[in-house]
Chains A and B, each alone.
Chain A
């Protein structure tokens, strides 16, 4: 009882803190271009910003809504406030938190998941901040090594490497469930190759299909268990 009370107080203060730091970050990030503009002696062209927003911003706005709806339950309160502040969601934070959650066997929506996801996202963000800060300090000596043609294919393939590892991890849980979305995606990308430039948006139908199939299977299993 005492533990539950403490946890609820923790959640309440996490929401308060999350809202405050999100708003401060927002003001800092929107304010920074104006401050840098002052140093350069010029302000932003707001007309061009509006036109640019209409051309690409709306797509990213829709994507943000979907990300919010999908990832918030995965990450819980603390994890999601931090993840939306620190970014790099699909390519790092989400798989990182899922990996940590798997390792300690934390179930979604539980207090344990809330704690693990927050620890995971905070650690991941700090590692990125440290690596990038060190990289920036060492930028000049590192540049020839990291940008060498020998290593170029490695860094151009970070995302396939990530998804290869994740594929084994998740497909083995339910190979039959994986087969249908994978086949559908292969057919779609083969027949409409231009979709490759919108892969991040194709996650939505692929995810919806996989969830629908998982739901059908789940209903069948629970119905079978009830009978």
Chain B
């Protein structure tokens, strides 16, 4: 039996599936607790339902993208391990990079059918170790950090403040700018400085998705169709992705 066949065996499915099931139970527990806390606080149940619906619809498309990541990694690491890593904790760009770096240290290459019995646990361990810090920091400092921020927030409120929301929106503007900047830069200089011959597909996708979002916003804000908001991000992404398919052909 080859290593890949072993990695797709029942034992590995059992180990990975148990961890995924554990995380799913944790999510359900947090969800139920938050729902009850919201009700105890007197929050409007309709708004909480709206948040859940919007989050569910929002997550479907990116999840399909993540599923493709499982497919992409399954050729070298088997199905269960990428399934575990991308169901919980990981992100495709990270997992791929770390798996590749670990394979490089071992002198094997991902996707070439060179996986060995010793290479796999090494790659898997490095993937686990590299991305565990968020959980460790959360465990050690989450309570203290949020408490400190809350104290700061109270002081801010007393002085008529409220910069927190503006800072978060600004952080998002910065994040979006970094990505769009990279697409523009990739098109202008991606294939040579100022050659304007890099790929323009991501830019067209950005434009199509933004345009679709504008249409969704128009109908939800001006035509009283607020329910459309629940599908605006996922719907806009779908339009953007459709644009990529059309450009690709």
Quote the shortest CB–CB distance from A14 to chain B (angstroms): 7
Interface pair A218/B163, CB less than 8 Å apart: yes
B146/A161 in contact, CB under 8 A: no
Identify which of residues 133-153 in chain A touch chain B, using a CB-to-CB cut-off of 8 Å.
133, 135-136, 139, 143, 146-147, 150-153
Q: In this assembly, does B61 line the interface, its C-beta being within 8 Å of a C-beta of chain A?
A: yes
B54 engages A99 (CB within 8 Å): yes
Q: Determine the main DSSP class of A at the interface with B.
A: helix
Contact A171 B90, CB 8 Å, known A65-B137, A161-B241? no
Interface residues on B, range: 35 or more
**Does the CB pair B88–A108 fall under 8 Å?**
no
What is the minimal beta-carbon distance from A186 to any residue of chain B, in angstroms?
Answer: 5
If A15-B142, A92-B62, A112-B43 touch, whether A36 touches B120 (CB-CB below 8 Å) is yes
Decide: A178 and B173 in contact? CB cutoff 8 A. Answer: yes
Q: Give the distance in Å from the alpha carbon of A214 to the alpha carbon of B139 in the complex.
A: 31
A178 and B178 alpha carbons, distance in the complex (Å): 11
Q: How close is B101's CB to chain A, nearest CB, in angstroms?
A: 4
Task: Decide if B121 touches A37 in the complex (CB within 8 Å).
Answer: yes
Which A residues touch B70, using CB under 8 A?
A: 132, 135-136, 139
Chain A residues in 8 Å Cβ range of B120: 33, 36-37, 40, 42
Interface residues of B in 3-26 (CB under 8 A from A): 3, 6-7, 9, 11-12, 15-16, 19-20, 22-24, 26
- Chain B CB count within 10 A is highest, among A44, A52, A188, for A52
Cβ-defined contact, A158 with B40, below 8 A: no
Q: Which residues of chain B are near A33, meaning CB under 8 Å?
A: 120-122, 124-125, 128
Shortest CB–CB separation between residue B106 and chain A, in angstroms? Answer: 5
A60-75 toward B: CB 8 Å interface, digit per residue (1/0)?
Answer: 1100110111101110
A112 touches B89 (CB 8 A): no
Give the residue among B35, B175, B213, B248 with the most A Cβ atoms within 10 A.
B175
**Docked pose: A199 CA to B181 CA in angstroms:** 9
Bound state CA distance, A17 and B28, in angstroms?
Answer: 13
Asked if B114 lies at the interface with its beta carbon under 8 angstroms from chain A, I say: no
**DSSP class of B's interface residues: helix, strand, loop or mixed?**
helix
B51→A139 contact, CB < 8 A? no
Asked if A120 contacts B51 (CB within 8 A), the reply is yes
Given contacts A36-B81, A41-B117, A202-B178, contact A28 B19 (CB under 8 A): yes
Query: Is B225 interfacial (CB 8 A cutoff)?
Result: no
Question: In whole angstroms, what is the CA distance A195 to B31 when docked?
Answer: 39
Contact B55 A100 (CB under 8 A): yes
- Among residues 102 to 124 in chain A, which have CB atoms less than 8 Å away from a CB atom of chain B? 103-104, 107-109, 111-112, 114-116, 118-124
A193→B189 contact, CB < 8 A: yes
Check A189–B181 contact: CB distance below 8 A: yes
- Asked if B30 and A128 sit within 8 Å, CB to CB, the answer is no
Residue B205 is within 8 A (CB to CB) of chain A in the complex: yes
Max chain A C-beta neighbours (<10 A), residue from B20, B52, B129 = B129
| Measured CA separation A6–B206 after assembly (Å) | 44
Structural contact, A131 and B175, CB atoms closer than 8 A:
no
Roughly how many angstroms separate A104 CA and B45 CA in the complex, as a whole number? 11
Q: A168–B214 Cα gap in the complex (Å)?
A: 7
Contact across chains for B209 and A165 when beta carbons are under 8 A apart: yes
Q: Contacts A44-B124, A128-B87: A161 and B236 contacting too (C-beta < 8 A)?
A: yes
A100 & B166 in contact (Cβ 8 Å cutoff): no
Report the bound CA distance from A109 to B163 in whole Å: 11
A39 with B170: CB separation less than 8 A: no
With the chains together, A92 CA to B81 CA distance in Å?
Answer: 21
Specify which chain B residues have a CB less than 8 angstroms from the CB of A28 in the assembled complex: 19, 22
In the complex the two chains form, is B146's CB within 8 Å of A76's CB?
Answer: yes
Enumerate 19 A-B pairs (CB-CB under 8 Å) in ascending A order.
A17-B33, A28-B19, A36-B120, A36-B124, A69-B145, A86-B23, A103-B54, A104-B50, A109-B150, A129-B20, A136-B80, A157-B240, A158-B65, A161-B238, A164-B205, A164-B240, A173-B173, A186-B184, A210-B174
The 7 closest A-B pairs by CB, nearest first: A189-B185, A185-B181, A164-B209, A161-B240, A153-B248, A207-B174, A37-B121
